[in-house]
Amino acid sequence: MKRVPIITAEEAARLVKSGDTLLVGGFGMTGNPVHLMHALAETETRDLTYVANNVSEPGLSGGRLLRNGQIRKAIGSYFTSNPEAVKAYQAGELEVELLPQGTLAEALRAGGAGIGGFYTPTAAGTLIAEDADVRVLNGREMIFVPALRGNVAFIRAWRADTAGNLQYRLTEQNFNPAMATAADLVVAEVEEIVEVGQIPPEHVHTPGLYVDYLVQATLTPEDLGSSASVKSGAKKVDEARLHMARRALQELRPGDVVNLGIGIPTLVADLITPEHGVNLHTENGMLGVGPAPEDGGAMDYPVNAGKIPVTALPGASYFDSAASFGMIRGGHVDVAVMGGLQVDEHGNLANWAVPGKPLLGVGGAMDLASGARRLIVTMTHTDPDGTPKIVRDCTLPLTARGRVDLVITDKAVFEFIGGQLTLTELMPGATLEDVRATTAARFEERLAAIRTG
């Protein structure tokens, strides 16, 4: 039986050379090899291409390398979570390649499987895909994405045996299993190392053949950054947003697999009870998401896509990011409820690029918008200055083309019926005249037998 060398974090850091492409596991700080990264931050290694979902948090893990100027280029899906990454990009100190989160996971999986690349419908027709090879496959426009590989992968697991077999805990899988397959040299930072046979074969998530070195390192709450503990205190939510959340909840059916985006959609989760029979999916690797715990944090609980600790309902399951986005792209998620910046009369959605901000964070939005069977958008009817958000044609960068099924605003509900934007309901306190005056898109009206409050 293979026996994997056990080394120190400092010895592992010396395995990374200047100019290397480094794969770094983790979703935020969950499943992040923070001790390996901090050891690397103490070296003179420079000019790294850093591949990860994001650049961690300011001063933590990849964020520490960023402060040191050790990262030349970052490839990932959501860099706006670290404001120092945004500043470095704006100052010309950091090159960025932005990929949708599911595309990132699949590119790593493909790299580890010896596949040169793949075609995906995610991001078709958007700015991210403007230079890609585009083909129509099975009636859908798809773009080609090359596989991703690295010289070295730093990953984090909960437990390893001396043969290098790895077991992950809760939502700590995320990008780690794919990255373990996609690098020439793999170092796994683990909480515990046990003898061969102490991890049952059916509990091995990453076989030891992928792992070259082990580093034992104990995780502390300080290593987890913003996920360390549950945020206490009651939310203050205005009634209009609650109306939108309640109206979105009415669209969910028992047995539905549902993914809720950030913003207004997160309020829907607070309204769901066991009686609704809804199965919540979070793209970082969990099905069966329950409410937030009363206390504790990511040391004790899984986290959702907002990096907030949650509980697991009976029957819940955990999986890695590549599997999670396979569920999404494969049409196994029934409903996605997402926020929006603009929706147009063609069913196009724009929700990832904020005007005046650098285009550095798409996350899983494009995957969900193009992959879910049904897409519901919740948003205010206008911007704060009164500018309509339901428009003839989106002027902001698109998230997905022709995928929106239902729009719920603080003033109205619109459906796409036969491809036509159709007003079907007025929200409490709204008038038809006001909706007409604040909607820039052309729409039909079918209000006769519809609720108006």
Q: Which residues are catalytic?
A: 283
- Rounded distance, CA 231 to CA 298, Å? 12
User: With contact defined as beta carbons under 8 Å apart, do 358 and 90 qualify?
Assistant: yes
Q: Which two tokens stand for residue 402?
A: 């022709």
**Residue 417 bridge partners (DSSP):** 420
Look at the block and give the residue holding tokens 């948003």.
Answer: 379
Q: Which two tokens stand for residue 273?
A: 């009870």
Other CB atoms within a 10 A radius of the CB of residue 244 amount to 24
User: Assign residue 32 a region: left if phi > 0, alpha if psi is -120 to 50, beta otherwise?
Assistant: beta
Q: Which amino acid is at 227?
A: S
Parallel, antiparallel, or unpaired: how do β-strands 420-426 and 117-120 relate?
unpaired
Residues in CB range of 85: below 8 A, 6 or more apart? 54, 55, 63, 66, 74, 79, 94, 96, 360
**Residue 166 bridge partners (DSSP):** 160, 206
Of the candidates 422, 377, 354, 367, which has an alpha carbon nearest to the alpha carbon of residue 400?
A: 367
Look at the block and give the residue holding tokens 């989106």.
Answer: 394
User: With contact defined as beta carbons under 8 Å apart, do 400 and 369 qualify?
Assistant: yes
Radius of gyration of the chain (CA): 23
- Rounded distance, CA 20 to CA 40, Å? 12
DSSP state at residue 292: P
- Rounded distance, CA 116 to CA 76, Å? 19
- Rounded distance, CA 85 to CA 401, Å? 29
